[in-house]
């Protein structure tokens, strides 16, 4: 079984970007921790970070995965194209936000992806990614979940 881990815009600079909000863990460290946790459950993990919305949607169209963990970054707040792509991928989707988006600026209160995510975590820092992986591992047949 394969998990597709996706990270949206500006998350490539994790560990250096706004460390007061997002912390000092780098994206490479996040991916490694997620891959290790997935492997413990017998799952493979592939990862893409992109600042280009179309690249992420193209990746979702490849349909070579059994579950998705995604931090859509700012796209969460306005991208209906990404929302529709996640809805169409027909597998379980877990949405991660490192920060507590509900407690930040008004524009972050809107989440257009939330209704197509079966699991959502925000404000738990980088460990939120591992919570999402654990949810996937605990979901016996993710294709039945949506
Ligand atoms: C984020 C929150 C978003 O509002 C922001 O645009 C990000 C990161 C988070 O992980 O807390 O890029 O998704």
* Predicted TM-score of the model (pTM): 0.95
| 25-83 pLDDT, tens digit each | 999 999 999 999 999 999 999 999 999 999 999 999 999 999 999 999 999 999 999 99
97 is catalytic: yes
Tell me, what CATH number does 85's domain have?
3.40.50.9100
Helix residue ranges, H only, the chain: 19-22, 27-40, 53-61, 80-88, 127-138
pLDDT attached to residue 146: 44
| Boundaries of domain holding 73 | 2-139
145 inside domain = no
- Number of domains comprising the chain: 1
Q: What is the mean pLDDT of the chain?
A: 95
* CA 117 – CA 86 distance, rounded (Å): 8
Residues with CB under 6 A from ligand 1: 10, 71, 73-74, 76, 97-99, 101, 108
Look at residue 46 and tell me if it is in a domain. Answer: yes
């Amino acid at each position: 079984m394969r998990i597709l881990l996706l990270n949206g815009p500006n998350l490539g600079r994790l560990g250096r970007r706004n460390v007061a909000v997002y912390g000092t863990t780098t994206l490479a460290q996040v991916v490694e921790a997620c891959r290790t946790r997935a492997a413990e459950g017998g799952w493979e993990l592939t990862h893409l970070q992109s600042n280009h919305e179309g690249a992420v949607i193209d990746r979702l169209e490849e349909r070579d995965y059994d579950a998705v963990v995604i931090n859509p970054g700012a796209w969460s707040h306005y991208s209906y194209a990404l929302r529709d792509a996640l809805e169409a991928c027909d597998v379980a989707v877990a949405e991660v936000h490192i920060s507590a988006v509900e407690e930040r600026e008004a524009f972050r209160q809107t989440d257009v992806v939330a209704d197509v995510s079966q699991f959502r975590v925000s404000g738990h820092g980088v460990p939120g990614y591992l919570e999402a992986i654990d949810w996937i591992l605990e979901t016996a047949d993710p294709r039945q979940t949506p």
